[in-house]
Structure 1
């Protein structure tokens, strides 16, 4: 498939349009077409090249190779099969044609011929040409944290998915029309792209919010800011060019000079970056350093109370490299980020938390404006690329700011503990009866290696750290945290089952007997939460139900994971008696972006098909503390004037659960 779209000409039978009609549609809707192209183009281009490529894709939508169109007025072009609607609802085939050409051009950008090496960039002669801007860099205006997070998410999905999202939300096309347009543009799986785009639009934000973000300045390549290029490197290039010409004239060593001119891809120096980052944010001397001991004399016990620790806190060269990599993000730097974390350079000098050598790496940890934690690491020997890890840590507290991952190697992690952590131990959540064992910590607050949970993909054990705060800030406060693959470990709590007539209970630390026993049955469900920006997870035992035909009881548990960015994820689990204290609970249902099982969603009901030890099948249903009536309908019927219900059923019974509160209100059912 050629990278350059073919020139406008008669392509087949059907409706035809004049080039002037298409040109009028392009001029009228130029900003929206450029925004659509910008969204579809690969973010790896960088914002400057992406802006230029977006304008190029739209400007080339009419003419392509204009030498083939000697008489534009008489040229007729076929209308696409996928229609377009303007805001007044009228069909506009001319606009639909131009939009199709724009999408096709944006999707084609960067494709390589089949014969071109897979790891080599596409040759310049095969890339669509664009407007030329020299001496300036162009950037759309920066948006907020949500826009940065959306842009990061879009960078991880294929171009057809980004195009589908733009067509659905910016162009207001239906799913079928979007799939038809993508098919005409050459997408192999247009229906899959539409489905993936729909998932993006509802995963972390509702439809309208994503639509507003896509229409914001963050994705507007027509309203741009300008900055100078790398002035120092430009001067270096001029000097290098003059020197090369002199050497060529004197020695005639053109080939040698060509081999030695590899400075084009070098990253900008820190001194050059400082000109584009305000407020001295990249100056190591300006880093914020909290005095030791302040954590015990402040009411804000979070990362702002951490003093700088480590053996290289005064190593200016290391700190400068860390800040420069953060601001410049060279192409060979491995970057990870929790969902919803902005990757922009610091707007003011960040707080230094740690600088030292750990696990064969030089590591620097920063805390930026109370919002982000940033980890920089470079190998001490043997070469290799540097690493940048970003994580949101806004509104952290005594427990969620108690530790941060400082080094990962193999199947283990070392953590830097907060200065207020007085004792540290490690325990296996799947062995609730086994005492925790002491976890050594060095003089800088760095722990010994802690095994990562389920590092091999299984769930034979689940390590967690049990930490205790100093009595200087809180008395007898122990808590659990576990590693889910990100900088900040996750705080684990539990809410005990309600007592008879007792008021609603609040989450509490899971270090007691009941909490450990509960987590032994549900810890393996944490595997699906890795790398999703989780801040804390609570196990709420919302009901206990007698099991028919036995003298035993089962627990209903709502496991709620709260993320740093806000949305929650809920797993409803059924915990029947088991021979092993760590037998996994049965998953009943899963829900995303919900307030259920939190203080804003305190009422819940659920149901499951259960087989008794003697072989009979039952529909079991249960509601939370305030539920006064439970009903099952469908292929099986039953009513209970209480929070639990058991009805005999077939193995393949289809049923629905409904519940009513004591005040007559309905309860969300989770099945």
Structure 2
């Protein structure tokens, strides 16, 4: 039995998780604002009125396992979230869940979670297409880490008639469970936007006096920048100081002349000229600036991690305005960010606003910006110093590049790996050439493609040479792990080669490290490849550490490997300045030098320690 006090303690302790659960299961048709408020309302109503029998299913997570209080409130939240998606019946008394929540309510504001990346958007769209029981099954698997047997029991207890069918429908989605922890699905970390301020004002005035309402409404319609048709899908104006008005004036946009980059002291986005046939379309530019400053509810806003999405502090720089693939596109730059506004050619419904951080971009990192993605292809706007562009398959290092047509800086579309799902058999990248060399850039689902480099940390080079492409080829598909993370560059370092114990050849060890625009969130992967295998495998990884980077150009990793004769070995390799390697725990062994091979058994686990030539100790990546 669960009393109110115990259930309340569980609800308070795990409130953010329970609200996230409700938000993910609620019908997407409610809209993001109402889903947020309904999720909070359903969670707050999950307490028992007196004493109630709790579900005995363990929650399979630290701090919640075998807690009947948590199991009870979770079941209540799930049941009411599922009921909220049921249609109202004419002859049945309506349940409380499908009705709009009385509390909590926020007057005058629209609340919605922060936008995630391309992966989160794709998952949200696929979840929206599932029925509510299947969404619940997917969320219980991914968020609660419940096995399928427990998921069926919880769904049946929540009133789902065919739990097996719900699980089968959930199987149609790829298990991208880590994305469920994204801010995209966090109804406790919110952005706020005003509701229709003009409509609220008019209703209040009508209640006070009809004549005054007509007079004041006419005066308001005559004010400039009032959020009417000139600003398209932007939210209405509430207050605006002179600096804000100046930042939203199309006439004050910075337009760099063509050729200015040739004599500039710096070569980055700040010297890109304004290009496109619509750079003189004041109405379009006004809408883009207004949406940047105050996006309306219908505008889809996305930003790479660590990128602020607020309005510009002053008049930004115009980089591009034209029609691209049935959409009008405007690209702006404010020194810190690239902002892309897109709207359909036949109206403003479905407008989108995307942000990417670009502060401190070098010549190579400011070579291209994404204009549009359509039908699995991506189209780039290239820097004015780019003289040649081509498409190259990174998985096939010996293949010839396919030259792209460039018209006024706009390249013809090439296949994008950012939106692809299923088996990875190719990875197409953009190859650009200018007066200083050739570079490879890859689309990772963001506005600015990531730069690919190769070599020892501290002395990396662009991965455009034959040897660098050969290093990257078996590990190109691992770039999928870096999608939507605000990645600035990715380096591949072939740090060791290891003879295999059964004389079947030499294995390669490569460390790939992503660097982000925000200077945090780096990801390191130690990858291992044996002869005759097309692709490498991730042996170990680290998040946010300095390993394999310019500040700590060292790495140590190990992997369990089965020989052709059926013997299992622990193989480990460190960078070449590793003096010795030692394994402890489930496997014991040591070796002088940077390579270690110890016979072991399947499933063994070990701790790796290395000693550098300087005497410093390093730990193995996990």
- TM-score w.r.t. structure 1 length? 0.64
**C-alpha separation in 2, matches of 1:484 and 1:631:** 37
Is the alpha carbon distance of 1:273 and 1:301 closer, same or farther for their aligned partners in structure 2, counting shifts above 3 Å? Answer: farther
- 1:510 maps to which of 463, 466, 471: 463
Is the alpha carbon distance of 1:602 and 1:186 closer, same or farther for their aligned partners in structure 2, counting shifts above 3 Å? Answer: farther
Deviation at 1:56, TM superposition (A): 8.8
* SS class of match (2:467): helix
Give per-residue Cα distances to partners, 1:347-367, cap 9 Å, x unaligned: 433322110012222111122
Instruction: State the match for 1:349 in structure 2.
Output: 315
1:306 partnered with 2:272: yes
**C-alpha separation in 2, matches of 1:301 and 1:406:** 20
Contact 1:42 1:159 in 2 (8 A): no
Contact 1:267 1:330 in 2 (8 A): no
Is the alpha carbon distance of 1:60 and 1:436 closer, same or farther for their aligned partners in structure 2, counting shifts above 3 Å? Answer: closer
**C-alpha separation in 2, matches of 1:360 and 1:149:** 25
1:478 partnered with 2:478: no
Is the alpha carbon distance of 1:147 and 1:52 closer, same or farther for their aligned partners in structure 2, counting shifts above 3 Å? Answer: closer
Instruction: State the match for 2:324 in structure 1.
Output: 358
Instruction: State the match for 1:231 in structure 2.
Output: 198
Deviation at 1:236, TM superposition (A): 9.1
Contact 2:303 2:355 in 1 (8 A): yes
**C-alpha separation in 1, matches of 2:276 and 2:18:** 47
Is the alpha carbon distance of 1:239 and 1:301 closer, same or farther for their aligned partners in structure 2, counting shifts above 3 Å? Answer: farther
Structure 1: give runs of 5+ residues left out of the alignment.
1-12, 18-24, 26-30, 65-75, 83-96, 163-181, 190-195, 205-213, 247-264, 471-475, 497-503
Deviation at 1:638, TM superposition (A): 2.6
1:589 partnered with 2:558: no
Deviation at 1:515, TM superposition (A): 0.3
**C-alpha separation in 1, matches of 2:447 and 2:206:** 44
Is the alpha carbon distance of 1:77 and 1:452 closer, same or farther for their aligned partners in structure 2, counting shifts above 3 Å? Answer: closer
Is the alpha carbon distance of 1:366 and 1:667 closer, same or farther for their aligned partners in structure 2, counting shifts above 3 Å? Answer: same
Pick the structure with greater CA Rg.
1
Judge which range, 609-618 or 361-370, deviates more.
Answer: 609-618
Deviation at 1:77, TM superposition (A): 6.0
Contact 2:248 2:315 in 1 (8 A): yes
Deviation at 1:16, TM superposition (A): 8.4
Instruction: State the match for 1:575 in structure 2.
Output: 529
Contact 1:230 1:268 in 2 (8 A): no
Contact 1:313 1:354 in 2 (8 A): yes
**C-alpha separation in 1, matches of 2:36 and 2:413:** 46
Instruction: State the match for 1:112 in structure 2.
Output: 84
Is the alpha carbon distance of 1:632 and 1:232 closer, same or farther for their aligned partners in structure 2, counting shifts above 3 Å? Answer: closer
- 1:453 maps to which of 417, 425, 429: 417
Deviation at 1:271, TM superposition (A): 9.0
**C-alpha separation in 2, matches of 1:320 and 1:385:** 17
**C-alpha separation in 1, matches of 2:78 and 2:240:** 31
Is the alpha carbon distance of 1:153 and 1:550 closer, same or farther for their aligned partners in structure 2, counting shifts above 3 Å? Answer: closer
* SS class of match (1:421): coil
Instruction: State the match for 1:626 in structure 2.
Output: 577
Contact 2:85 2:98 in 1 (8 A): no
**C-alpha separation in 2, matches of 1:271 and 1:219:** 19
**C-alpha separation in 2, matches of 1:293 and 1:355:** 18
- TM-score w.r.t. structure 2 length? 0.69
* SS class of match (2:571): strand
**C-alpha separation in 2, matches of 1:35 and 1:647:** 46
* SS class of match (1:621): strand
Give per-residue Cα distances to partners, 1:420-446, cap 9 Å, x unaligned: 222222222122122323222002x00
- 1:647 maps to which of 598, 602, 607: 598
Deviation at 1:607, TM superposition (A): 1.5
Is the alpha carbon distance of 1:620 and 1:389 closer, same or farther for their aligned partners in structure 2, counting shifts above 3 Å? Answer: same
Deviation at 1:626, TM superposition (A): 2.5
Give per-residue Cα distances to partners, 1:43-66, cap 9 Å, x unaligned: 99999989999999999999x9xx
* SS class of match (1:319): helix
Deviation at 1:452, TM superposition (A): 1.5
Contact 1:570 1:590 in 2 (8 A): yes
* SS class of match (1:126): coil
Deviation at 1:394, TM superposition (A): 2.9
**C-alpha separation in 2, matches of 1:608 and 1:32:** 39
* SS class of match (1:548): coil
Deviation at 1:557, TM superposition (A): 0.7
* SS class of match (1:521): helix
1:670 partnered with 2:611: no
Indicate the RMSD between aligned Cα atoms, in angstroms. 5.6
Give per-residue Cα distances to partners, 1:4-43, cap 9 Å, x unaligned: xxxxxxxxx98789xxxxxxx9xxxxx9999999999969
Is the alpha carbon distance of 1:377 and 1:664 closer, same or farther for their aligned partners in structure 2, counting shifts above 3 Å? Answer: same
* SS class of match (1:318): helix
Deviation at 1:572, TM superposition (A): 1.0
Instruction: State the match for 1:322 in structure 2.
Output: 288
**C-alpha separation in 1, matches of 2:566 and 2:234:** 75
**C-alpha separation in 2, matches of 1:616 and 1:105:** 51
Is the alpha carbon distance of 1:338 and 1:239 closer, same or farther for their aligned partners in structure 2, counting shifts above 3 Å? Answer: same
